[in-house]
Amino acid sequence: MKLDESRWFTRYLKTIKTLCLGAHFLPCKDAEIATVTFPTTINLQVIELYDLSVSCGEQLAFVLKLLQNSPNLCQLKIGALNCQCSCDITTGTRLLEEPNSCIIKQHLKILNTIIIVGFSGFTLEMLFVKMLLSKSPTLERVVIMEHGDTDIEDASEDVNSWRKELLCFSHASPKAHLVCTENDDSVLELFDYLWV
């Protein structure tokens, strides 16, 4: 069921400990996002999002609302969709850069593990990861697996560029250990191990 067609999401969100969502279930219009109200998800500890396009302002807004209302979130796993959304990126940029946008208002005080699979280094993906790094004071493990399929001739140069930028970025947690790796099935087994 699409979230905007069902009330189960907000009704049971308070009791859920692990939430797994495919991005195709997320509302895709500003009007739909505005109608979804989030209770404080006091029990939610793990969020897994699949086929998420961070460059889609609507999906990003929905995810940021969810993160803001999850004060006890410990683990975040994202399977990124390797394509730039046709949406205007100014919505997403505003959400991540403006001081009064939703997630910027507070720290993710308990978040200790972030895993992102299929990272491409697009501008909004970078802003999103930097926001997570700057707002997670107890972060310990960050694993970013780059997307393996690319037609860009200078892909290795682009990858090295975003890796350096993220590795040099100042994080809120002094204990955060950031690992950037290539797309590799054996690493996915490691993710599953880390996730447990």
Token pair 């308990």 in the structure block, residue: 110
Tens of pLDDT along 3-62? 554 566 677 788 889 998 887 776 555 544 545 567 788 999 999 999 888 878 778 888
Please state, in angstroms and rounded to a whole number, the distance separating the CA atoms of residues 63 and 31: 15
Domains of the chain, residue spans: 20-195
Instruction: Write down the pLDDT at residue 76.
Output: 96
DSSP code of residue 168: H
Instruction: Write down the pLDDT at residue 121.
Output: 84
Instruction: Write down the pLDDT at residue 151.
Output: 47
Comparison of pLDDT for 54 and 174, the residue scoring more = 174
As a whole number, the mean pLDDT across the chain is 76
CA dihedral of residues 6, 10, 111, 27 (deg, nearest 10): 40
Tens of pLDDT along 68-125? 889 999 999 999 876 555 565 666 666 676 655 555 667 899 999 999 998 888 888 8
Q: What angle do CA 40, 140, 17 make, to 5 degrees?
A: 30
Token pair 């790094």 in the structure block, residue: 133
Instruction: Write down the pLDDT at residue 192.
Output: 54
Instruction: Write down the pLDDT at residue 82.
Output: 62
Instruction: Write down the pLDDT at residue 74.
Output: 96
Enter the tokens of residue 117. 């699979």
Instruction: Write down the pLDDT at residue 112.
Output: 95
Residue type, 66: L
Q: Has residue 196 got a pLDDT over 60?
A: no
Please state, in angstroms and rounded to a whole number, the distance separating the CA atoms of residues 75 and 119: 17
